[in-house]
Amino acid sequence: NSPENLVYLYDPEIPIQQRQAVVALLDTITGVRSDPSLARPERLAKLVALPNAAVQISESQADNILALDDERWEQLRGQTLALYDRAIERYDYALDERAVI
């Protein structure tokens, strides 16, 4: 139970897989935002119930996402990926829960 006894296995594929998951989530959100067959309430419901999301998107967050114009959404998308990349680089590909917070 001692933290000194913890052993971590370095897997260089994990950051790559995590980034791919972030990109997939952002792609899914982009698809929902731009789906012409969905009315706004349907888009909102779809964002709240995303099946591939590792994080839960609240209704207010989904509403904010839908309120963004395309240019602002692309900025947010780019900033999200840049923040992930910067965090991974800063922590030398060893993010733990405290580093994420």
Which of residues 6 and 96 earns the better pLDDT score?
Answer: 6
- Encode pLDDT of 50-94 as tens digits: 876 677 889 999 999 999 999 999 999 999 999 989 888 887 666
Q: What is the pLDDT of residue 46?
A: 92
Q: How confident is the model at residue 13 (pLDDT cuts 50, 70, 90)?
A: confident
How far is residue 66's CA from residue 31's CA, in Å, rounded to a whole number?
11
Q: Which of 75, 67, 70, 78 is nearest to 40 (CA)?
A: 67
Q: What is the pLDDT of residue 89?
A: 82
Q: Which residue has the higher pLDDT, 97 or 63?
A: 63
Kindly report the pTM of this predicted structure: 0.78
Alpha-carbon distance 81 to 7, whole Å? 29
